[in-house]
Amino acid sequence: MKELKALIKEIKGYKADIFGKDFLLTWEKTTDELKQVLAVAQALKEMRSNNISTRVYDSGLAVSLFRDNSTRTRFSFSSACNLLGLVVQDLDEGKSQIAHGETVRETANMISFLSEVIGIRDDMYLGAGNTYMREVGGALDDGCKQGVLPQRPAVVNLQCDIDHPTQSMADLAWLKEYFGGLDKLKGKKIAMTWAYSPSYGKPLSVPQGIIGLMTRFGMDVRLAYPEGYNLIPDVEKLAKKQARESGGKFTVSNSMDEAFKDADIVYPKSWAPFAVMGRRTELLRKNDHDGLKALEKECLANNAKFKDWECTEQKMKLTARGKALYMHCLPADITDVSCKAGEVAASVFDRYRIETYKEAGYKPYIIAAMILTSKFADPAGLLKKLLKEEIERVK
């Protein structure tokens, strides 16, 4: 209980202006706002561990819209909403009027009459996912202004073409626990590297989310990828600027070994090059199946040139004391387990498997914290009230 009271006091102390705002990109939030979300997530986690109910809603809907496959994020969103007392309704576009040409403006309002939050995953189209989320937000603003909606649902980015904030914030929460505090992360070396995969179309949002967030906390962020596998240039520029401002470092190289050398944390993850994602988006919009097949063949052949970009035992020996923390958003492409050749050697993954599960375990709390801070003006006061009432979650 002492820890919970300290967390609530910490939450109250942050200068945050999140209430009534969507959570779309981490770099749109101030450092205090990010810290507040982390602290709220930790408080919710502690309350659940102490069997204290965190149901702040007696009724209400949470709408989930997934335009790509998902396991962890889909269930994390449902878990987060349930934790707060909301019922989740999936929006299946194929079974809705969207398939018949219903506009974003109309859809956004029709699903929002009694909704408190809309979680959207839209990472398939470069230059479109984050734009779509903002279009939904604009439609909701108009619905509230015109008196159509009794309240304005929060929009939470569950992954787009630019950022994956629920993942990167969960990663940061795990690093905070693992190293003993945010202050302990300053100067820590994290290698965010490309890794080989037998598939070609993985989004850019995870590596962009990592470099866009970890550079905010004074870390030594090392981005590495084979020549031509760069991320969105503006995000790389942003990471460099943020590293300067936080007293950290941000470097880009074409060597996995160089990035791994003396690293405290490694995050080997495959992604499709920025230029390829652009071409893929054009082909998807044209519904050009033959073009997509040709692009896949070309990209897989190019990927195959870099099969040595694998997180092996040998590469792990290059890291700090040979014991860097391995991280992954999951599912990882594990060599000789999920594929013949992949991102990480089976022995490395198995050694850190539980750590990656703990990393993923923060995501429901992070999402719940994003919702709570957006929907309630005084999250510290609300948590204090829940703590005082101490209603048992399990009777």
CB distance 251 to 226 below 8 Å: no
Residues 316, 374 share a domain:
no
Give strand pairing partners of 335: 339
Summary count for the chain: helices (H), strands (E):
15, 9
Query: Which has the closest alpha carbon to 263: 309, 294, 222?
Result: 222
- Residues 121, 155 within the same domain: yes
Residue 394: inside a domain: no
Using DSSP's 3-state secondary structure scheme, residue 19 falls into coil
Q: Are residues 266 and 371 in the same domain?
A: no
Give the residues across from 65 on adjacent strands: 120
Question: Are 50 and 21 found together in one domain?
Answer: yes
Whether the CB-CB separation of 4 and 43 falls below 8 Å is answered with yes
Residue-level pLDDT, tens digit, the chain, 395 residues: 889 999 999 999 999 999 999 999 999 999 999 999 999 999 999 999 999 999 999 999 999 999 888 899 999 999 999 999 999 999 987 766 665 567 999 999 999 999 999 999 999 889 999 999 999 999 999 999 999 999 999 999 999 999 999 999 999 999 999 999 999 999 999 999 999 999 988 999 999 999 999 999 999 999 999 999 999 999 999 999 999 999 999 999 999 999 999 999 999 999 999 999 999 999 988 999 999 999 999 999 999 999 999 999 999 999 999 999 999 999 999 999 999 999 999 999 999 999 999 999 999 999 999 999 999 999 999 999 999 999 999 98
Q: What CATH code is carried by the domain that includes residue 314?
A: 3.40.50.1370
Range of the domain at 66: 2-163+363-389
70 & 208 share domain = no
Q: Which pTM does this prediction carry? A: 0.96
356 and 368 in a single domain? The answer is no
- The number of residues making up the chain comes to 395
Number of domains in the chain: 2
Alpha-carbon distance of 266 to 329, in angstroms, equals 12
The C-alpha atoms of residue 133 and residue 135 are separated, in whole angstroms, by: 5
Is 236 in contact with 223 (CB distance < 8 Å)?
yes
Asked if 186 and 46 sit in the same domain, the reply is no
Residues 30 and 121 in one domain: yes
